[in-house]
Amino acid sequence: MKTLIIGGSATGMGVAARLRRNDPNMEITVIQDKDYVSLGACGLPYFVANNFDNKNNLIARTIEEFKNNEIKVISNSKVKSIDFKSKKAFYNDQFEQYDNLVIAVGAKPIVPNIKGVEADNVFTLTTLEDGVNLKEKMMNDKNINKVAIIGAGFIGLEMSETFSELNKEVYLLEMESKVMIKTFDEEISELLESKLKEKKINTLLGEQLVEIKSKDNKVSSIVLKSGKEIEVDAVLLSVGFQPNTQFLKDSELEMNERGTIIVNFKGETNIENVYSAGDCAVSKSYIDNQDIYSPLATVASKFSKVIADNISGKENEYVGSIQSAILRLFDLEVARTGLTEKMAQDKNIKFKSVFIKDKDHTNYTPNQKDIYLKLIMNSETREIIGAQMAGSNNSVLRIYGLAALIWQKAKVNNSLEQIDLPYAPPFSRSVDIIHIALSKLNK
């Protein structure tokens, strides 16, 4: 029995590793378009910021290590097409036969179709090569002093901090009226915007890039839809991701309008013995079982184990995601889990929410800071369905406990209001912000 995996990132190598543990005799082959596998892409902003020098720190496990476990990796090779009837994947004028196929090709950064986007010093940040190239330019090219970041999502915000630390003048461009408004509600978005302003990041909201101008093929300025033109020396595109499924466009594989592969809770596609997960496929919402697109390493890691188990004959299902996420922007930490108010409204869920500002610990221990919590409850079931936090001193790690409450579908009542949380003066106050929020929801 042979399993062929297309793609060597979190999903693909996660399937390979779990499969080998499940079945020592399974023939496992991975086709990867790079000369490495298992890239920890979330670390790229910190590599560019020069938090560490060795790029190989971003590789969780090498090709040689996989080969030592009898997992064959065909590197620097890109699959061009798949014949699902004959069970063949074609690459480099060759093909690989399979019994089970896992499509884990991930996603690529969206590059807008605008004039000038091919100029030198226009960057993306997804691959190891991207990171090495961007770091080399930022560290060594003395002509790059002003950088425009297009898109204020996770990468855009993290790179605002990175470029600022590298003493660059930063322009952060966002089409929406608020920063990360699809991820957080307004209260947290406004805290992020305040931090950007405090750190002198030039934030332009409700603006759209329409052209990149250049001199001698190097970026010289950006032109916005509003007519503004801003002189910059480099541009980082961070406007989102597009599933890497163009080579499957005319196949019988079921995909949505974005080219995202449709799978069920087992990772199965509409074609027998063909599986998919990760940034190229839909995942599931734990709250209402609906399809969602959640290109997160945490989702890929869990779903890969489910696929490997099912290929091995061990029944397993991916139960879903509550899209938990966390971000540091300079000294501001923000975190979220579950639904935002906007998400709840779109799902026609009746809800009650509270937003609390408090202190992260007692005033007689050093470095007391503000902490913020938004808690959202389904008014009909009284289950907690969403939480968002902001603070510093690692205080937002309280989100782990709140994610567990959402996961267990905890109902707000007198018992939950009395939940026994740990207390010591350096860490919290005797009545924690979580207690305050639960009390207000329970009224």
Beta carbons of 401 and 432 less than 8 angstroms apart: no
Kindly state the DSSP code that residue 398 receives in the 8-state scheme.
G
Kindly state the DSSP code that residue 267 receives in the 8-state scheme.
S
180: left (phi over 0), alpha (psi -120 to 50) or beta: left
Residue 214's pLDDT band (cuts 50, 70, 90): very high
**What is the C-alpha radius of gyration for the chain, rounded to an integer number of angstroms?**
23
pLDDT for residue 217: 94
Beta carbons of 262 and 269 less than 8 angstroms apart: yes
Separation between Cα atoms, residue 32 and residue 156, nearest integer Å: 27
**Model pLDDT for residues 189-202, shown as the tens digit of each residue:** 999 999 999 999 99
Q: For residue 284, give the H/E element and its range.
A: strand 283-284
Separation between Cα atoms, residue 390 and residue 370, nearest integer Å: 8
pLDDT for residue 128: 97
Largest CA-CA distance found in the chain, in angstroms, rounded = 71
Looking at residues 109-124, what average pLDDT do you find? 96
First-residue to last-residue Cα distance in the chain: 59
Domains of the chain: 2-40+59-107+242-311 (3.50.50.60), 122-239 (3.50.50.60), 331-441 (3.30.390.30)
Looking at residues 287-314, what average pLDDT do you find? 95
pLDDT for residue 200: 98
Token representation of residue 21: 């543990």
What pTM was computed for the model?
A: 0.95
**Model pLDDT for residues 409-437, shown as the tens digit of each residue:** 999 999 999 999 999 999 999 999 999 99
Which residues are registered as beta bridge partners of 89? 82, 96
